[in-house]
Amino acid sequence: MDEIRSAAGHAPGTAERDANGGSAPRHGGNPNARPRRARHETMMAVDAVLDDAAERLVRAVVEKALAGDTAALRFCVERLWPLPRDAAVEVDLPRIAAAAPAIGGAHAVLAACAAGILPPRAAIDAIDAIDEARKRRHAELDARLTALEKRRGR
């Protein structure tokens, strides 16, 4: 490792320090690289063309959607009028009082996510809530079983 440091211009056992004695910022990588957030010339040209045609393109897609084109309709709904990230979504779930309904509830959540009704983050939260309800039910049943066993003298 010391060979690598000395080859890179660092003396073994020393570190670069700033005026306050802290570690100096490192400037690694390619010094000739494009700066962060810089856009490629091709993308800037595409953006310029699309900026001029954006309104006409959106209007054309909306007209196709209104004419019954399902792909255009899906695009409009998903891209032009997206579901807010934390929007309330209704999913029919069974009452969770045992393991089977919990599994059924998880399946319902996964199906809603796969159908695009429920965003993935909301699906994860819902499955976590179902799992928590299942754990509470399990703990409740375990406590009842322990109480019964104590009464029977086990």
From the number of C-beta atoms within 10 Å of its C-beta (0-12, 13-18, 19+), residue 91 rates as middle
Q: Which pLDDT belongs to residue 1?
A: 47
pLDDT at residue 8 greater than cutoff 70:
no
> 78-126 pLDDT, tens per residue?
887 766 666 666 666 666 666 667 777 788 888 888 888 888 888 888 8
Q: Which pLDDT belongs to residue 85?
A: 63
Q: pTM for this one?
A: 0.37
pLDDT top residue among 147 and 85: 147
Cα 46 to chain centroid, rounded? 28
Closest CA to 131 of 108, 153, 99, 154: 99
User: What DSSP line would sit under 5-43, residue for residue?
Assistant: HHHTT--TT---B-TTSSBPPP--S-TTSPPTTPPPHHH
